[in-house]
Amino acid sequence: MYPASTPASRTRAEKFDAMVLEALEPIELRWGSELADLDLAVDEVPEVEETSPDDVVWGQGVLADVGVPLAQLVPAGVDPEGLPSRARIVIYRRPLEARARDGADLADLLHEVLVEQVAEYLNIEPDAVDGGES
């Protein structure tokens, strides 16, 4: 219906990705050099190996709200194929969208989650990431 070049033609996932980048922009402006070795990814939902809520234990680096992961900081290491991997923040789209009342609320929530995850990566307080002194 809409030409591919118009914003209305973008999927929900594409719109979300754009919001993530927009929320990250002020953080990157301030901390760009410190974040050079950090990647950012978006997944629909977190992977869950156990299906019973009583058995689910989220690993280190997971930012959760009422037991539901919103994002995860995955440290640098070695991937399953034995290759070195870079540190990355994984943002979970559906849980974040479910918690937001509207687009502005989602933008605020994304910024808050990214601040928390970047602070964990840099091993500093979230207030320092968001404009305070480091």
Least confident of 8-12, 40-44, 107-111: 8-12
Q: How is 58-92 classified by DSSP, letter by letter?
A: --TTEEEETTEEEEEEEPSEE-TTS-EE-EEEEEE
**Considering the domain boundaries, does residue 104 fall inside one?**
yes
**Considering the domain boundaries, does residue 96 fall inside one?**
yes
Residue 100 has pLDDT above 60, yes or no: yes
Query: How does the average pLDDT of the chain come out, rounded?
Result: 87
**Considering the domain boundaries, does residue 52 fall inside one?**
no
**Considering the domain boundaries, does residue 2 fall inside one?**
no
Structural domains of the chain, count: 1
**Considering the domain boundaries, does residue 27 fall inside one?**
yes
Q: Can you tell me the mean pLDDT for 2-31?
A: 85
What pTM does this model have? 0.83
Please report the pLDDT score of residue 134 as a whole number. 45
| Residues near 48 by beta carbon (within 8 Å), at least 6 away in sequence | 56
Its domain, for residue 107, covers: 9-45+60-127
**Considering the domain boundaries, does residue 36 fall inside one?**
yes
The string of pLDDT tens digits covering residues 39-72 is 999 999 987 666 566 666 666 788 888 778 999 9
> What is the DSSP code (8-state) at residue 31?
H
**Considering the domain boundaries, does residue 77 fall inside one?**
yes
Please report the pLDDT score of residue 6 as a whole number. 62
Q: How is 84-125 classified by DSSP, letter by letter?
A: EE-EEEEEEHHHHHHH-SSHHHHHHHHHHHHHHHHHHHHTS-
**% of the chain at pLDDT higher than 90:** 67
User: What's 89's domain CATH number?
Assistant: 3.30.2010.20
Tokens of 23: 């929320």
